[in-house]
Amino acid sequence: MKRIMSRIDGLWLGSLLLWVLPFAVLVPLGLLWLQQHGAMLVWLGSLLLLSGAGFGLQSWLKERQQHQLDEGQTRPDPTWPPVAEGAWARVESLVEQIEPDDWPLDDGTRLGELAQLTLERVASYFHPEVEQPLLELRVPHALLVIERASRDLRESITQNIPFSHRLTIGSLVRVYRWKPFAERLLGMYRAGYWVVNPANALLSEAWGHLRKRGFAMAQQDVYRWLLQEYVRKVGAYAIDLYSGRLLLTDDTPIMRLTQVSREDVERAVSSEVAEAEPLPGEPLRILVLGRSNTGKSSLINLLFGQLRAATDVLPETTRALMPYRLERDGLDLALIFDSPGVERLAYKTLNEAAISADMIIWVSAAHRPDRQSERQTLDAVRTAQAARVDRRPPPLLVVVTYIDRLRPLREWLPPYDLTDSTNLKAMSIQAAVTALATDLEVPIANVIPVCLAEGRLYNVEDTLWTAILDQMDRAQRTRLLRCQDERRREENWNLLRRQLANAGRFLIALPRRMSRNQ
């Protein structure tokens, strides 16, 4: 204290006091005046009341702003494959541990380290077997993670932090100014140095502006939010990257036909309307499976609205997987696959078909209750699907056919209300549905009873169609991941081809270069 005082000029201090004095005496004089007029208590009361109201209002504003920030928080992408859940949990646990004091924004490299830490967490989750999984990261992809995370963060800041729109232009320019520089220093990325980090520039600048503005929200809270969002965004893109969804191009993966669908479309039987029109993108692939003679082809004919697939009272009518082009209102362009009885399908064919399906319709006859082999086949399909953690298993609907053959045998008076316990036929149908749900281990809501017999058509156009449309969201997600998987493989292959070509060119030119150098 002494030292501070000794540094201040006494005369300066005196002049300041002279300035302040008239205002400072106002307080005791005011209190005296209140005392003399007997208004002290009123004043004290109002003081308490107004401070209370001010405090209340402030807490409310703070809470509202906090809520706004929470709303703007990055969340896991619903289209991620199941494997991403564990990786996201890791990112969130890192987010929980963040203490603003540990990550000062004015220290340039620290933010880079935070990004690296996030990437490492995700990387080691996807590649637990690799000692330094970050080194597995391809350079263009690493750049992409940072660029996209920064771009997103800029948007979040604009949307969630008051006045921040004023600071974004400069930051954006900064980010893009960094990019070519970063690209020139690709080697540094490879070595794991995150100094070349556009997000870093963006965050420092954003924070600098916010601090100057001294706005209502507790600075520490915004700072924490900023850091947490940074980690979440880098984490989210890292998950995209490691689960194979981050592509170098920006086009939507479903806009182009996959190789397998291209071949299937060529083989597909089309309805007259659809004939000759090329498909604008990847169709949904609906696979119809079930034992022989259960009504698979009849079902396809009915969904198709025309007689296309061969049906017969004798089993083994359909001899191979057969695609049909299905176009209906409310349904994305689809290929629906008729199949021979599952017992006749080779394991490999069945697995391949199931892996590349976006929805599976399993047809089972109500009057044939021996379902052990069906369950085994279905379980094998499920196991194969579950092994592909980078994909989402397609939704499964079970269609129960031959309900007209249930007891009482002679009765057929639809519609049936399955909750009506006085109607014997309705009860038989309900019992068959419940038994199938248990036998095949599927949710009862996904088991749809129908009748496909000629002249006895029941429950297809209404209930079954509604059930199919209800599963559309899930089917589309499955399709998205399937297409992304193919695009990534294509991309890897193209990169490798380009790298090999460049290496080849280099080798060809080498003797010439060497002779020039000699």
The verdict on 405 binding ligand GTP (CB under 6 A) reads: yes
Q: Which stretch binds Mg ion (CB under 5 A): 29-37, 251-259, 272-280, 309-317?
A: 309-317
The verdict on 356 binding ligand GTP (CB under 6 A) reads: no
Which one among 317, 471, 478, 484 touches Mg ion, defined by CB under 5 A?
317
Task: Supply the minimum distance, in Å, between the C-beta of residue 467 and ligand GTP.
Answer: 16
CB distance 398 to 444 below 8 Å: no
Cα gap 83→272, rounded to integer Å: 42
The full length of the chain comes to 518
202 or 467, CB closer to ligand GTP? 467
The verdict on 118 binding ligand GTP (CB under 6 A) reads: no
The verdict on 156 binding ligand GTP (CB under 6 A) reads: no
Q: In what order do the strands lie in the sheet with 322-326?
A: 322-326, 334-338, 284-290, 359-365, 396-401, 447-449
Binding partner at 312 among Mg ion, ligand GTP, none, C-beta below 5 to 8 Å by kind: ligand GTP
Total residues at the site for Mg ion (CB under 5 A)?
A: 4
Check residue 39 and report its DSSP letter. -
Binding partner at 453 among ligand GTP, Mg ion, none, C-beta below 5 to 8 Å by kind: ligand GTP
CA angle 122, 127, 132 (to 5 degrees): 85
Task: Supply the minimum distance, in Å, between the C-beta of residue 285 and ligand GTP.
Answer: 18
192 or 315, CB closer to Mg ion? 315
Cα gap 297→28, rounded to integer Å: 97
User: How many beta carbons lie within 10 A of that of residue 27, not counting itself?
Assistant: 9
Cα gap 401→337, rounded to integer Å: 18
Cα gap 58→445, rounded to integer Å: 50
Which one among 204, 401, 446, 459 touches ligand GTP, defined by CB under 6 A?
401
The verdict on 318 binding Mg ion (CB under 5 A) reads: yes
CB distance 297 to 310 below 8 Å: yes
CA angle 222, 223, 228 (to 5 degrees): 95
Total residues at the site for ligand GTP (CB under 6 A)?
A: 23
311 or 430, CB closer to ligand GTP? 311
Going residue by residue from 274 to 303, which x/- string records binding to ligand GTP, judged by CB under 6 A? ------------------xxxxxxx-----
Task: Supply the minimum distance, in Å, between the C-beta of residue 415 and Mg ion.
Answer: 27
Q: Which stretch binds ligand GTP (CB under 6 A): 202-210, 263-271, 424-432, 445-453?
A: 445-453
Task: Supply the minimum distance, in Å, between the C-beta of residue 335 and Mg ion.
Answer: 16
The verdict on 171 binding Mg ion (CB under 5 A) reads: no
User: How many beta carbons lie within 10 A of that of residue 403, not counting itself?
Assistant: 25
Q: Report which of 157, 330, 121 is spatially closest to residue 238, judged by C-alpha positions.
A: 121
118 or 364, CB closer to ligand GTP? 364
Q: Which stretch binds ligand GTP (CB under 6 A): 110-118, 261-269, 372-380, 449-457?
A: 449-457
CB distance 432 to 384 below 8 Å: no
72 or 315, CB closer to Mg ion? 315
Peptide bond just before 140 cis, omega within 30 deg: no
In the region spanning residues 298 to 337, those forming contacts with ligand GTP, defined by CB under 6 A, are 298, 311-313, 315-318
Q: Which amino acid is at 350?
A: L
Peptide bond just before 415 cis, omega within 30 deg: yes
The verdict on 204 binding ligand GTP (CB under 6 A) reads: no
281 or 315, CB closer to ligand GTP? 315
The verdict on 298 binding Mg ion (CB under 5 A) reads: no
Q: Which amino acid is at 287?
A: L
Place of tokens 């600071």: 167
List b or e across 478-489, with b for residues whose CB sees 16 or more CB atoms inside 10 angstroms: bbbbbbbbbbbe
Cα gap 59→473, rounded to integer Å: 41
Which strand (E) or helix (H) includes residue 496?
A: helix 472-517
Q: Which two tokens stand for residue 102?
A: 């540990």
Task: Supply the minimum distance, in Å, between the C-beta of residue 290 and ligand GTP.
Answer: 6
Task: Supply the minimum distance, in Å, between the C-beta of residue 370 and Mg ion.
Answer: 20
Which one among 160, 297, 301, 446 touches Mg ion, defined by CB under 5 A?
297
The verdict on 361 binding ligand GTP (CB under 6 A) reads: no
Which residues of the chain form contacts with ligand GTP (CB under 6 A)?
292-298, 311-313, 315-318, 340-341, 401-402, 404-405, 451-453
Which residues of the chain form contacts with Mg ion (CB under 5 A)?
296-297, 317-318
